[in-house]
Protein backbone atom coordinates (compact mmCIF):
# COMPACT_ATOMS: atom_id res chain seq x y z
CA UNK A 1 0.00 0.00 0.00
CA UNK A 2 1.24 3.54 -0.66
CA UNK A 3 2.28 5.84 2.17
CA UNK A 4 -0.88 7.32 3.66
CA UNK A 5 -1.55 10.74 2.16
CA UNK A 6 -3.39 13.56 3.88
CA UNK A 7 -7.03 12.47 4.09
CA UNK A 8 -8.95 14.16 1.28
CA UNK A 9 -11.28 16.03 3.61
CA UNK A 10 -8.30 17.66 5.30
CA UNK A 11 -6.83 19.04 2.09
CA UNK A 12 -6.88 22.79 1.84
CA UNK A 13 -8.44 22.45 -1.63
CA UNK A 14 -11.24 20.24 -0.24
CA UNK A 15 -12.03 22.78 2.47
CA UNK A 16 -12.06 25.57 -0.09
CA UNK A 17 -14.68 23.71 -2.15
CA UNK A 18 -16.65 22.98 1.01
CA UNK A 19 -16.73 26.62 2.10
CA UNK A 20 -17.77 27.79 -1.34
CA UNK A 21 -20.45 25.09 -1.61
CA UNK A 22 -22.00 26.32 1.66
CA UNK A 23 -22.64 29.66 -0.04
CA UNK A 24 -23.83 28.12 -3.30
CA UNK A 25 -26.42 25.91 -1.58
CA UNK A 26 -28.67 28.90 -1.19
CA UNK A 27 -28.46 30.10 -4.76
CA UNK A 28 -31.25 29.13 -7.15
CA UNK A 29 -30.55 28.27 -10.78
CA UNK A 30 -33.04 30.99 -11.72
CA UNK A 31 -30.80 33.57 -10.06
CA UNK A 32 -27.64 32.07 -11.50
CA UNK A 33 -29.06 32.39 -15.01
CA UNK A 34 -30.43 35.87 -14.30
CA UNK A 35 -27.03 37.17 -13.23
CA UNK A 36 -25.18 35.29 -15.96
CA UNK A 37 -27.50 35.07 -18.98
CA UNK A 38 -24.78 33.91 -21.40
CA UNK A 39 -23.82 30.84 -19.39
CA UNK A 40 -25.94 28.59 -21.61
CA UNK A 41 -23.56 29.25 -24.49
CA UNK A 42 -20.42 29.54 -22.42
CA UNK A 43 -20.65 26.59 -20.03
CA UNK A 44 -20.38 24.03 -22.76
CA UNK A 45 -17.66 21.75 -24.06
CA UNK A 46 -17.47 19.84 -27.29
CA UNK A 47 -15.26 16.95 -28.27
CA UNK A 48 -15.37 13.57 -30.07
CA UNK A 49 -18.83 14.34 -31.46
CA UNK A 50 -20.32 15.07 -28.02
CA UNK A 51 -21.61 18.48 -26.99
CA UNK A 52 -21.92 18.95 -23.23
CA UNK A 53 -24.00 21.75 -21.73
CA UNK A 54 -23.30 21.91 -18.00
CA UNK A 55 -24.76 25.36 -17.47
CA UNK A 56 -27.86 24.04 -15.65
CA UNK A 57 -25.79 23.17 -12.59
CA UNK A 58 -25.52 25.07 -9.33
CA UNK A 59 -22.00 26.10 -10.18
CA UNK A 60 -20.22 29.27 -11.15
CA UNK A 61 -16.82 29.71 -12.71
CA UNK A 62 -15.42 29.92 -9.21
CA UNK A 63 -16.99 26.60 -8.17
CA UNK A 64 -15.40 24.85 -11.12
CA UNK A 65 -12.08 26.48 -10.57
CA UNK A 66 -12.04 25.34 -6.91
CA UNK A 67 -13.04 21.83 -7.98
CA UNK A 68 -10.20 21.79 -10.50
CA UNK A 69 -7.82 22.89 -7.75
CA UNK A 70 -9.02 19.89 -5.78
CA UNK A 71 -8.32 17.64 -8.77
CA UNK A 72 -4.79 19.05 -8.94
CA UNK A 73 -4.29 18.59 -5.21
CA UNK A 74 -5.34 14.94 -5.61
CA UNK A 75 -2.77 14.52 -8.38
CA UNK A 76 -5.34 13.57 -11.01
CA UNK A 77 -2.96 14.51 -13.81
CA UNK A 78 -0.27 12.05 -12.74
CA UNK A 79 -2.86 9.37 -12.01
CA UNK A 80 -4.23 9.58 -15.57
CA UNK A 81 -0.75 9.10 -17.00
CA UNK A 82 -0.07 6.24 -14.60
CA UNK A 83 -3.16 4.40 -15.84
CA UNK A 84 -2.49 5.05 -19.54
CA UNK A 85 1.14 3.99 -19.23
CA UNK A 86 0.41 0.63 -17.65
CA UNK A 87 1.49 1.25 -14.05
CA UNK A 88 -0.03 -1.26 -11.65
CA UNK A 89 -2.60 1.13 -10.21
CA UNK A 90 -4.94 -1.73 -9.25
CA UNK A 91 -2.79 -2.28 -6.19
CA UNK A 92 -4.95 -4.76 -4.26
CA UNK A 93 -4.86 -7.13 -7.24
CA UNK A 94 -1.35 -6.08 -8.34
CA UNK A 95 -2.52 -5.33 -11.87
CA UNK A 96 -2.25 -2.64 -14.49
CA UNK A 97 -5.51 -1.10 -15.74
CA UNK A 98 -5.35 -0.95 -19.50
CA UNK A 99 -8.76 -0.97 -21.15
CA UNK A 100 -7.43 2.09 -22.99
CA UNK A 101 -4.76 -0.12 -24.64
CA UNK A 102 -7.53 -2.24 -26.18
CA UNK A 103 -8.53 0.74 -28.33
CA UNK A 104 -5.11 2.34 -28.70
CA UNK A 105 -5.53 3.05 -32.40
CA UNK A 106 -2.22 4.91 -32.50
CA UNK A 107 -0.58 1.59 -31.70
CA UNK A 108 2.08 3.31 -29.58
CA UNK A 109 3.84 0.66 -27.47
CA UNK A 110 2.39 0.14 -24.01
CA UNK A 111 4.68 -1.82 -21.73
CA UNK A 112 3.51 -4.13 -18.95
CA UNK A 113 6.11 -6.24 -17.12
CA UNK A 114 8.69 -5.32 -19.75
CA UNK A 115 6.54 -6.34 -22.76
CA UNK A 116 4.62 -4.31 -25.29
CA UNK A 117 0.98 -5.43 -25.06
CA UNK A 118 -0.05 -4.01 -28.45
CA UNK A 119 0.98 -6.96 -30.69
CA UNK A 120 -1.20 -9.36 -28.65
CA UNK A 121 -4.13 -6.94 -28.65
CA UNK A 122 -3.90 -6.54 -32.41
CA UNK A 123 -3.65 -10.31 -32.90
CA UNK A 124 -6.83 -10.97 -30.91
CA UNK A 125 -8.67 -8.21 -32.79
CA UNK A 126 -7.61 -9.88 -36.05
CA UNK A 127 -8.76 -13.29 -34.78
CA UNK A 128 -12.11 -11.79 -33.77
CA UNK A 129 -12.50 -10.06 -37.14
CA UNK A 130 -11.73 -13.20 -39.09
CA UNK A 131 -14.16 -15.28 -37.03
CA UNK A 132 -16.88 -12.61 -37.19
CA UNK A 133 -16.59 -12.42 -40.97
CA UNK A 134 -16.93 -16.20 -41.25
CA UNK A 135 -20.06 -16.23 -39.11
CA UNK A 136 -21.56 -13.23 -40.91
CA UNK A 137 -20.97 -14.54 -44.43
CA UNK A 138 -22.00 -18.09 -43.57
CA UNK A 139 -18.63 -19.76 -44.15
CA UNK A 140 -18.54 -20.83 -40.50
CA UNK A 141 -20.84 -23.84 -40.60
CA UNK A 142 -22.55 -25.60 -37.75
CA UNK A 143 -22.04 -29.32 -37.21
CA UNK A 144 -24.75 -30.31 -39.70
CA UNK A 145 -23.36 -27.96 -42.37
CA UNK A 146 -25.90 -25.17 -41.87
CA UNK A 147 -24.75 -21.58 -41.35
CA UNK A 148 -25.08 -19.92 -37.94
CA UNK A 149 -28.15 -17.74 -37.49
CA UNK A 150 -28.24 -17.33 -33.71
CA UNK A 151 -25.55 -16.17 -31.33
CA UNK A 152 -26.07 -16.71 -27.60
CA UNK A 153 -23.59 -15.06 -25.25
CA UNK A 154 -23.28 -16.80 -21.90
CA UNK A 155 -21.59 -14.57 -19.33
CA UNK A 156 -22.47 -12.39 -16.36
CA UNK A 157 -21.58 -8.97 -14.96
CA UNK A 158 -18.69 -7.54 -16.91
CA UNK A 159 -18.89 -10.44 -19.35
CA UNK A 160 -22.50 -9.65 -20.21
CA UNK A 161 -23.60 -6.08 -19.60
CA UNK A 162 -21.20 -4.36 -22.01
CA UNK A 163 -21.88 -6.42 -25.14
CA UNK A 164 -25.59 -6.56 -24.28
CA UNK A 165 -25.79 -2.77 -23.92
CA UNK A 166 -23.78 -2.17 -27.10
CA UNK A 167 -25.66 -4.74 -29.22
CA UNK A 168 -28.85 -2.90 -28.33
CA UNK A 169 -27.27 0.53 -28.81
CA UNK A 170 -25.94 -0.31 -32.27
CA UNK A 171 -28.83 -2.43 -33.49
CA UNK A 172 -29.26 -0.07 -36.43
CA UNK A 173 -25.81 -1.21 -37.63
CA UNK A 174 -26.39 -4.92 -37.09
CA UNK A 175 -26.96 -7.72 -39.57
CA UNK A 176 -30.66 -8.39 -39.07
CA UNK A 177 -30.35 -11.96 -40.34
CA UNK A 178 -28.56 -12.81 -37.12
CA UNK A 179 -30.25 -13.14 -33.74
CA UNK A 180 -28.03 -12.16 -30.81
CA UNK A 181 -29.16 -13.06 -27.30
CA UNK A 182 -27.69 -12.98 -23.80
CA UNK A 183 -27.96 -15.46 -20.97
CA UNK A 184 -26.51 -14.33 -17.65
CA UNK A 185 -28.76 -15.32 -14.76
CA UNK A 186 -28.32 -18.72 -13.16
CA UNK A 187 -32.11 -18.81 -12.98
CA UNK A 188 -32.82 -21.41 -15.68
CA UNK A 189 -35.77 -19.37 -16.84
CA UNK A 190 -33.47 -17.10 -18.79
CA UNK A 191 -31.65 -19.92 -20.57
CA UNK A 192 -34.90 -21.72 -21.36
CA UNK A 193 -36.69 -18.62 -22.62
CA UNK A 194 -33.72 -17.37 -24.67
CA UNK A 195 -33.23 -20.70 -26.44
CA UNK A 196 -36.75 -22.12 -26.74
CA UNK A 197 -37.30 -20.92 -30.31
CA UNK A 198 -33.74 -21.50 -31.53
CA UNK A 199 -32.57 -24.33 -33.75
CA UNK A 200 -29.44 -25.89 -32.19
CA UNK A 201 -28.03 -26.66 -35.65
CA UNK A 202 -27.93 -22.89 -36.36
CA UNK A 203 -26.87 -21.69 -32.90
CA UNK A 204 -23.45 -20.61 -31.67
CA UNK A 205 -22.72 -20.18 -27.96
CA UNK A 206 -20.05 -17.75 -26.85
CA UNK A 207 -19.02 -18.66 -23.31
CA UNK A 208 -17.59 -15.42 -21.97
CA UNK A 209 -15.83 -15.55 -18.65
CA UNK A 210 -12.54 -14.00 -17.68
CA UNK A 211 -11.92 -16.66 -15.03
CA UNK A 212 -14.00 -19.46 -16.60
CA UNK A 213 -14.97 -20.50 -13.09
CA UNK A 214 -17.95 -18.22 -12.41
CA UNK A 215 -20.74 -20.37 -11.02
CA UNK A 216 -23.59 -18.84 -13.02
CA UNK A 217 -21.75 -18.84 -16.33
CA UNK A 218 -20.41 -22.37 -16.00
CA UNK A 219 -23.84 -23.69 -14.96
CA UNK A 220 -25.45 -22.05 -18.00
CA UNK A 221 -22.61 -23.24 -20.26
CA UNK A 222 -23.10 -26.86 -19.12
CA UNK A 223 -26.84 -26.60 -19.75
CA UNK A 224 -26.13 -25.16 -23.20
CA UNK A 225 -23.81 -28.05 -23.98
CA UNK A 226 -26.46 -30.56 -22.84
CA UNK A 227 -29.09 -28.73 -24.96
CA UNK A 228 -26.81 -28.94 -27.99
CA UNK A 229 -25.86 -32.59 -27.47
CA UNK A 230 -29.48 -33.53 -26.93
CA UNK A 231 -30.23 -32.26 -30.43
CA UNK A 232 -27.05 -33.04 -32.37
CA UNK A 233 -26.14 -36.26 -30.51
CA UNK A 234 -22.40 -36.01 -31.09
CA UNK A 235 -19.73 -34.56 -28.75
CA UNK A 236 -17.83 -33.42 -31.85
CA UNK A 237 -20.60 -30.84 -32.42
CA UNK A 238 -19.32 -28.79 -29.45
CA UNK A 239 -16.32 -27.61 -31.47
CA UNK A 240 -18.59 -26.07 -34.14
CA UNK A 241 -21.12 -24.54 -31.76
CA UNK A 242 -19.08 -23.28 -28.79
CA UNK A 243 -16.36 -20.68 -28.61
CA UNK A 244 -14.85 -19.17 -25.47
CA UNK A 245 -13.72 -15.72 -24.43
CA UNK A 246 -11.44 -16.05 -21.42
CA UNK A 247 -8.05 -15.57 -19.83
CA UNK A 248 -8.06 -19.18 -18.56
CA UNK A 249 -6.96 -21.62 -21.29
CA UNK A 250 -6.81 -24.67 -18.97
CA UNK A 251 -10.46 -24.33 -17.90
CA UNK A 252 -11.60 -23.64 -21.48
CA UNK A 253 -9.95 -26.83 -22.69
CA UNK A 254 -11.34 -28.72 -19.67
CA UNK A 255 -14.84 -27.68 -20.73
CA UNK A 256 -14.27 -29.23 -24.15
CA UNK A 257 -13.82 -26.10 -26.24
CA UNK A 258 -11.09 -26.28 -28.86
CA UNK A 259 -8.37 -23.75 -27.81
CA UNK A 260 -8.31 -22.67 -31.47
CA UNK A 261 -11.80 -21.29 -30.80
CA UNK A 262 -10.74 -19.35 -27.73
CA UNK A 263 -10.39 -15.58 -27.78
CA UNK A 264 -8.01 -14.39 -25.10
CA UNK A 265 -7.67 -11.30 -23.01
CA UNK A 266 -5.53 -10.31 -20.06
CA UNK A 267 -5.66 -9.76 -16.32
CA UNK A 268 -5.19 -6.02 -16.84
CA UNK A 269 -8.67 -5.80 -18.40
CA UNK A 270 -11.25 -5.41 -15.64
CA UNK A 271 -14.56 -7.20 -16.27
CA UNK A 272 -16.64 -4.02 -16.33
CA UNK A 273 -14.11 -2.36 -18.62
CA UNK A 274 -13.82 -5.28 -21.05
CA UNK A 275 -16.23 -4.40 -23.87
CA UNK A 276 -13.36 -3.42 -26.20
CA UNK A 277 -11.60 -6.76 -25.62
CA UNK A 278 -12.72 -10.14 -26.99
CA UNK A 279 -15.70 -9.78 -24.61
CA UNK A 280 -17.05 -7.59 -27.43
CA UNK A 281 -17.16 -10.60 -29.80
CA UNK A 282 -20.99 -10.85 -29.96
CA UNK A 283 -21.07 -7.16 -30.82
CA UNK A 284 -18.46 -7.56 -33.53
CA UNK A 285 -20.42 -10.44 -35.04
CA UNK A 286 -23.60 -8.37 -34.94
CA UNK A 287 -22.27 -5.11 -36.42
CA UNK A 288 -19.18 -6.32 -38.30
CA UNK A 289 -15.47 -5.63 -37.68
CA UNK A 290 -15.51 -2.24 -39.44
CA UNK A 291 -18.23 -0.79 -37.22
CA UNK A 292 -16.58 -2.34 -34.16
CA UNK A 293 -13.34 -0.55 -35.04
CA UNK A 294 -15.34 2.68 -35.40
CA UNK A 295 -16.45 2.20 -31.80
CA UNK A 296 -12.83 1.67 -30.76
CA UNK A 297 -11.93 4.88 -32.61
CA UNK A 298 -14.54 6.79 -30.61
CA UNK A 299 -13.19 5.39 -27.34
CA UNK A 300 -9.63 6.19 -28.36
CA UNK A 301 -10.50 9.77 -29.30
CA UNK A 302 -12.02 10.28 -25.85
CA UNK A 303 -9.02 8.58 -24.20
CA UNK A 304 -6.73 11.02 -25.98
CA UNK A 305 -8.91 13.93 -24.98
CA UNK A 306 -8.90 12.80 -21.34
CA UNK A 307 -5.12 12.45 -21.40
CA UNK A 308 -4.31 15.76 -23.04
CA UNK A 309 -7.09 18.36 -22.69
CA UNK A 310 -6.61 20.93 -19.93
CA UNK A 311 -8.99 20.26 -17.06
CA UNK A 312 -11.18 23.27 -17.90
CA UNK A 313 -11.90 21.79 -21.34
CA UNK A 314 -11.86 18.14 -20.32
CA UNK A 315 -15.27 16.45 -20.59
CA UNK A 316 -14.70 13.47 -18.26
CA UNK A 317 -13.00 15.69 -15.70
CA UNK A 318 -15.83 18.24 -15.84
CA UNK A 319 -18.54 15.58 -15.44
CA UNK A 320 -16.53 13.92 -12.68
CA UNK A 321 -16.02 17.13 -10.73
CA UNK A 322 -19.65 18.19 -11.03
CA UNK A 323 -20.59 14.75 -9.70
CA UNK A 324 -18.21 15.20 -6.76
CA UNK A 325 -19.74 18.63 -6.10
CA UNK A 326 -23.23 17.21 -5.52
CA UNK A 327 -22.11 13.93 -3.96
CA UNK A 328 -19.78 15.42 -1.37
CA UNK A 329 -20.96 18.95 -0.86
CA UNK A 330 -24.72 18.89 -1.56
CA UNK A 331 -25.51 15.49 0.06
CA UNK A 332 -26.88 13.99 -3.16
CA UNK A 333 -27.13 10.22 -2.73
CA UNK A 334 -27.79 9.22 -6.30
CA UNK A 335 -27.20 10.17 -9.89
CA UNK A 336 -29.46 9.40 -12.84
CA UNK A 337 -28.51 8.80 -16.48
CA UNK A 338 -31.49 9.45 -18.74
CA UNK A 339 -30.91 8.67 -22.41
CA UNK A 340 -33.57 9.93 -24.81
CA UNK A 341 -32.90 7.12 -27.23
CA UNK A 342 -34.49 3.70 -27.08
CA UNK A 343 -31.30 2.12 -28.43
CA UNK A 344 -29.58 3.23 -25.23
CA UNK A 345 -32.09 1.41 -23.06
CA UNK A 346 -29.32 -0.56 -21.27
CA UNK A 347 -26.82 2.29 -21.02
CA UNK A 348 -27.69 3.24 -17.44
CA UNK A 349 -27.68 -0.42 -16.37
CA UNK A 350 -24.23 -0.82 -17.89
CA UNK A 351 -22.83 2.17 -16.05
CA UNK A 352 -24.67 1.19 -12.91
CA UNK A 353 -22.17 -1.64 -12.72
CA UNK A 354 -19.31 0.47 -14.05
CA UNK A 355 -19.82 3.16 -11.45
CA UNK A 356 -21.12 1.28 -8.42
CA UNK A 357 -18.67 -1.62 -8.61
CA UNK A 358 -15.77 0.75 -9.21
CA UNK A 359 -16.50 3.44 -6.66
CA UNK A 360 -18.67 1.65 -4.10
CA UNK A 361 -15.75 1.53 -1.65
CA UNK A 362 -15.32 2.70 1.93
CA UNK A 363 -11.61 2.61 2.63
CA UNK A 364 -9.05 4.90 1.05
CA UNK A 365 -5.95 3.72 -0.80
CA UNK A 366 -4.03 3.50 2.45
CA UNK A 367 -6.68 1.19 3.89
CA UNK A 368 -8.23 3.76 6.24
CA UNK A 369 -12.02 4.20 6.53
CA UNK A 370 -13.01 7.18 4.41
CA UNK A 371 -14.55 10.18 6.15
CA UNK A 372 -16.33 11.39 3.01
CA UNK A 373 -18.94 10.04 0.65
CA UNK A 374 -17.75 7.86 -2.23
CA UNK A 375 -19.74 6.51 -5.20
CA UNK A 376 -23.41 7.45 -5.60
CA UNK A 377 -26.28 5.12 -6.42
CA UNK A 378 -26.40 5.24 -10.18
CA UNK A 379 -29.59 4.48 -12.04
CA UNK A 380 -31.77 5.49 -14.96
CA UNK A 381 -34.15 4.55 -17.73
CA UNK A 382 -34.71 5.96 -21.18
CA UNK A 383 -36.98 8.94 -21.79
CA UNK A 384 -39.75 9.52 -22.33
CA UNK A 385 -40.84 6.39 -20.43
CA UNK A 386 -39.23 7.63 -17.22
CA UNK A 387 -41.33 10.80 -17.35
CA UNK A 388 -44.44 8.71 -16.78
CA UNK A 389 -42.79 6.81 -13.96
CA UNK A 390 -40.20 8.32 -11.62
CA UNK A 391 -39.76 11.92 -12.83
CA UNK A 392 -42.42 13.01 -10.33
CA UNK A 393 -39.83 12.51 -7.60
CA UNK A 394 -37.16 14.31 -9.63
CA UNK A 395 -39.43 17.36 -9.96
CA UNK A 396 -41.24 17.53 -6.65
CA UNK A 397 -39.62 15.01 -4.30
CA UNK A 398 -37.44 15.88 -1.32
CA UNK A 399 -34.26 14.36 -2.73
CA UNK A 400 -31.66 16.03 -4.85
CA UNK A 401 -30.93 13.83 -7.87
CA UNK A 402 -28.53 15.28 -10.41
CA UNK A 403 -29.34 13.92 -13.87
CA UNK A 404 -27.46 13.48 -17.12
CA UNK A 405 -29.72 13.82 -20.16
CA UNK A 406 -28.36 12.22 -23.35
CA UNK A 407 -29.99 12.94 -26.71
CA UNK A 408 -29.34 12.99 -30.46
CA UNK A 409 -30.16 15.47 -33.22
CA UNK A 410 -31.00 12.75 -35.73
CA UNK A 411 -32.88 9.50 -35.30
CA UNK A 412 -32.15 6.20 -37.03
CA UNK A 413 -35.91 5.87 -37.37
CA UNK A 414 -37.21 9.22 -38.61
CA UNK A 415 -40.90 8.39 -38.53
CA UNK A 416 -43.30 11.32 -38.84
CA UNK A 417 -42.75 13.75 -35.98
CA UNK A 418 -41.66 11.17 -33.40
CA UNK A 419 -38.15 12.52 -33.05
CA UNK A 420 -39.19 16.15 -32.62
CA UNK A 421 -41.69 15.07 -29.98
CA UNK A 422 -39.02 13.02 -28.21
CA UNK A 423 -36.57 15.91 -28.25
CA UNK A 424 -39.19 18.47 -27.24
CA UNK A 425 -39.59 16.42 -24.07
CA UNK A 426 -35.83 16.18 -23.70
CA UNK A 427 -35.32 19.94 -23.74
CA UNK A 428 -38.47 20.73 -21.76
CA UNK A 429 -37.51 18.44 -18.90
CA UNK A 430 -34.12 20.01 -18.19
CA UNK A 431 -35.70 23.45 -18.41
CA UNK A 432 -38.49 22.51 -15.99
CA UNK A 433 -36.09 20.82 -13.59
CA UNK A 434 -33.87 23.90 -13.49
CA UNK A 435 -36.41 26.67 -13.39
CA UNK A 436 -39.54 25.03 -12.03
CA UNK A 437 -42.80 26.93 -11.82
CA UNK A 438 -43.24 29.64 -9.22
CA UNK A 439 -46.33 30.25 -7.10
CA UNK A 440 -46.88 33.51 -9.01
CA UNK A 441 -46.82 31.69 -12.34
CA UNK A 442 -49.28 29.12 -11.05
CA UNK A 443 -51.53 31.83 -9.60
CA UNK A 444 -51.43 33.76 -12.88
CA UNK A 445 -53.12 30.80 -14.53
CA UNK A 446 -56.12 31.40 -12.28
CA UNK A 447 -55.54 28.25 -10.26
CA UNK A 448 -57.70 27.52 -7.25
CA UNK A 449 -55.75 28.84 -4.20
CA UNK A 450 -56.17 25.53 -2.33
CA UNK A 451 -54.36 23.66 -5.10
CA UNK A 452 -51.56 26.15 -5.43
CA UNK A 453 -48.96 24.46 -3.18
CA UNK A 454 -49.31 21.23 -5.11
CA UNK A 455 -48.77 22.82 -8.47
CA UNK A 456 -45.64 24.74 -7.59
CA UNK A 457 -42.37 23.36 -8.90
CA UNK A 458 -39.45 24.57 -6.89
CA UNK A 459 -36.96 23.89 -9.68
CA UNK A 460 -33.25 24.21 -8.93
CA UNK A 461 -32.71 20.58 -9.95
CA UNK A 462 -29.36 20.27 -11.72
CA UNK A 463 -28.79 18.53 -15.03
CA UNK A 464 -26.08 17.99 -17.61
CA UNK A 465 -27.14 17.73 -21.24
CA UNK A 466 -25.14 15.65 -23.69
CA UNK A 467 -26.24 16.22 -27.26
CA UNK A 468 -24.69 14.41 -30.24
CA UNK A 469 -25.66 14.37 -33.90
CA UNK A 470 -26.42 10.68 -34.19
CA UNK A 471 -25.90 7.47 -32.25
CA UNK A 472 -23.09 5.91 -34.29
CA UNK A 473 -20.50 3.32 -33.24
CA UNK A 474 -17.99 6.18 -32.91
CA UNK A 475 -20.32 8.26 -30.72
CA UNK A 476 -21.12 5.25 -28.55
CA UNK A 477 -17.39 4.63 -28.10
CA UNK A 478 -16.87 8.26 -27.07
CA UNK A 479 -19.78 8.07 -24.62
CA UNK A 480 -18.48 4.87 -23.07
CA UNK A 481 -14.97 6.26 -22.57
CA UNK A 482 -16.43 9.51 -21.24
CA UNK A 483 -18.26 7.73 -18.44
CA UNK A 484 -15.34 5.38 -17.75
CA UNK A 485 -13.02 8.31 -17.25
CA UNK A 486 -15.56 10.19 -15.21
CA UNK A 487 -15.57 7.21 -12.84
CA UNK A 488 -11.76 7.26 -12.81
CA UNK A 489 -11.67 10.97 -12.03
CA UNK A 490 -14.01 10.53 -9.10
CA UNK A 491 -12.13 7.50 -7.77
CA UNK A 492 -8.96 9.60 -7.61
CA UNK A 493 -10.71 12.49 -5.86
CA UNK A 494 -12.14 10.04 -3.32
CA UNK A 495 -8.74 8.33 -2.96
CA UNK A 496 -10.16 4.84 -3.47
CA UNK A 497 -9.21 1.86 -5.61
CA UNK A 498 -11.71 1.86 -8.46
CA UNK A 499 -10.54 -1.30 -10.18
CA UNK A 500 -10.98 -4.06 -7.63
CA UNK A 501 -14.30 -5.57 -6.48
CA UNK A 502 -13.84 -7.53 -3.28
CA UNK A 503 -17.55 -7.23 -2.54
CA UNK A 504 -18.34 -9.34 -5.64
CA UNK A 505 -15.87 -12.03 -4.54
CA UNK A 506 -17.62 -12.36 -1.18
CA UNK A 507 -20.93 -13.31 -2.82
CA UNK A 508 -19.15 -15.94 -4.91
CA UNK A 509 -17.78 -17.63 -1.75
CA UNK A 510 -20.89 -17.45 0.44
CA UNK A 511 -23.25 -18.99 -2.11
CA UNK A 512 -20.99 -22.04 -2.45
CA UNK A 513 -21.38 -22.92 1.22
CA UNK A 514 -25.18 -22.56 1.22
CA UNK A 515 -25.48 -24.62 -1.96
CA UNK A 516 -23.87 -27.59 -0.20
CA UNK A 517 -26.47 -27.27 2.54
CA UNK A 518 -29.33 -27.11 0.05
CA UNK A 519 -28.07 -30.20 -1.74
CA UNK A 520 -27.17 -32.29 1.33
CA UNK A 521 -29.22 -35.53 1.29
CA UNK A 522 -30.37 -35.20 4.90
CA UNK A 523 -31.02 -32.04 6.90
CA UNK A 524 -27.61 -30.51 7.62
CA UNK A 525 -26.74 -28.89 10.95
CA UNK A 526 -27.10 -25.24 9.99
CA UNK A 527 -24.65 -22.83 11.57
CA UNK A 528 -25.99 -19.50 10.29
CA UNK A 529 -28.01 -16.92 12.20
CA UNK A 530 -31.58 -17.91 13.17
CA UNK A 531 -33.13 -16.11 10.20
CA UNK A 532 -30.93 -17.74 7.56
CA UNK A 533 -31.25 -21.17 9.23
CA UNK A 534 -35.06 -20.96 9.24
CA UNK A 535 -35.25 -19.79 5.62
CA UNK A 536 -32.98 -22.60 4.41
CA UNK A 537 -34.95 -25.19 6.40
CA UNK A 538 -38.26 -23.92 4.99
CA UNK A 539 -36.92 -24.01 1.44
CA UNK A 540 -35.63 -27.57 1.92
CA UNK A 541 -38.99 -28.70 3.31
CA UNK A 542 -41.17 -27.10 0.65
CA UNK A 543 -39.25 -27.13 -2.64
346 counts as binding ligand G6Q under rule CB under 6 A? no
> Applying CB under 6 A, does 504 fall inside the site for ligand G6Q?
yes
Contact 330, 75 (CB under 8 A): no
* Residue 159 binding ligand G6Q, by CB under 6 A: yes
Residue 388 C-beta-side C-alpha neighbours within 13 Å: 2
Cβ-based nearer residue to ligand G6Q, 275 or 422: 275
Q: Does 357 bind ligand G6Q (CB under 6 A)?
A: yes
Residue 349: CB minimum distance to ligand G6Q, A: 12
Stretch that binds ligand G6Q, among 20-28, 67-75, 211-219, 443-451 (CB under 6 A): 211-219
Q: Interior CA angle at 433 toward 429 and 439, to 5°? A: 115
Shortest separation between residue 283's beta carbon and ligand G6Q, angstroms = 16
- Residue spans of alpha helices (H) in 138-232: 161-169, 188-195, 215-232
Among 29, 59, 156, 170, binds ligand G6Q (CB under 6 A): 156
User: Can 388 be counted among the known catalytic residues?
Assistant: yes
Of 474 and 499, nearer to ligand G6Q (C-beta) is 499
Could you say which of 217, 277, 291, 411 contacts ligand G6Q (CB under 6 A)? 217
Site for ligand G6Q in 265-294 (CB under 6 A): 270-272
Closest CA to 69 of 119, 144, 26, 19: 19
DSSP string of 256-299?
T--GGGEEE--TTS-GGG-TTTGGGHHHHHHH-HHHHHHHHHHH
Q: Containing H/E element for 316?
A: helix 315-329
Minimal CB distance to ligand G6Q: which residue?
157
Query: Which residue out of 26, 233, 388, 445 is catalytically annotated?
Result: 388
3-class secondary structure, 207: strand
DSSP secondary structure letter of residue 408: E
Least distance in angstroms from the C-beta of 228 to ligand G6Q:
20
Q: Which of 86, 157, 383, 402 binds ligand G6Q (CB under 6 A)?
A: 157
Which of these segments, 12-20, 157-165, 298-306, 385-393, binds ligand G6Q (CB under 6 A)? 157-165
- Measured CA to CA, the distance from residue 24 to residue 67 in angstroms comes to 13
Q: Torsion-angle region of residue 36: left (phi > 0), alpha (psi -120 to 50) or beta?
A: beta
- Sign of the four-CA dihedral 271, 276, 277, 279: positive
Catalytic residue flag (residue 508): yes
Q: Which residues pair with 45 in a beta bridge?
A: 52
> Minimum distance from CB of 79 to ligand G6Q (Å)?
19
CB 325 within 8 A of CB 21: yes
Q: How far is the CB of 273 from ligand G6Q (least distance, A)?
A: 7
Binding residue (CB under 6 A) for ligand G6Q from 100, 150, 153, 209: 209
Q: Which is nearer to ligand G6Q, 210 or 361 (CB)?
A: 210
What is the separation, in whole angstroms, between the first and last Cα of the chain?
A: 48
Pairing of strands 44-47, 50-53: antiparallel
Q: How far apart are CA 195 and CA 353, in angstroms?
A: 26
Question: Helices 289-308 and 118-137 sit at what angle, rounded to 10 degrees?
Answer: 150
For ligand G6Q, the closer CB: 218 or 228: 218
Our finding on whether 211 is near ligand G6Q (CB under 6 A) is yes
User: Least distance from C-beta 219 to ligand G6Q, angstroms?
Assistant: 11
The interface with ligand G6Q within residues 65-94 (CB under 6 A) comprises: none
Q: Which of 216, 357, 484, 517 is catalytic?
A: 357
Q: Is 357 a catalytic residue?
A: yes
Applying CB under 6 A, does 210 fall inside the site for ligand G6Q? yes
Helix, coil or strand: residue 154 = strand
Query: How many residues of this chain interact with ligand G6Q, rule: CB under 6 A?
Result: 15
Residues designated as active site: 357, 388, 508
Q: Which residues bind ligand G6Q (CB under 6 A)?
A: 156-159, 209-211, 214, 217, 270-272, 357, 501, 504
Amino acid sequence: MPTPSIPRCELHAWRAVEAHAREMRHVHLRDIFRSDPARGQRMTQETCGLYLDYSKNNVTGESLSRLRDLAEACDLRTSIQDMLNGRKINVTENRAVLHTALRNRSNRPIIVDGRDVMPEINAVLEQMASFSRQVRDGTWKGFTGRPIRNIVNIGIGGSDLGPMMACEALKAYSDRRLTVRFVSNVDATQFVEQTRDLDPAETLFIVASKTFTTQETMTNARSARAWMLDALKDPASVARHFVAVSTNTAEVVGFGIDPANMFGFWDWVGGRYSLCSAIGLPLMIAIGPESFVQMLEGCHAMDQHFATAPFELNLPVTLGLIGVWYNNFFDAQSQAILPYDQYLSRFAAYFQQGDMESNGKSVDRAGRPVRWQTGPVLWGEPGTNGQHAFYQLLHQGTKLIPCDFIGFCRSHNPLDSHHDILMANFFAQTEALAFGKTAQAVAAEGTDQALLPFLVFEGNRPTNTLLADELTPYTLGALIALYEHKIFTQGIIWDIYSFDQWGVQLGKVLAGRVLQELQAPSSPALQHDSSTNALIARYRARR
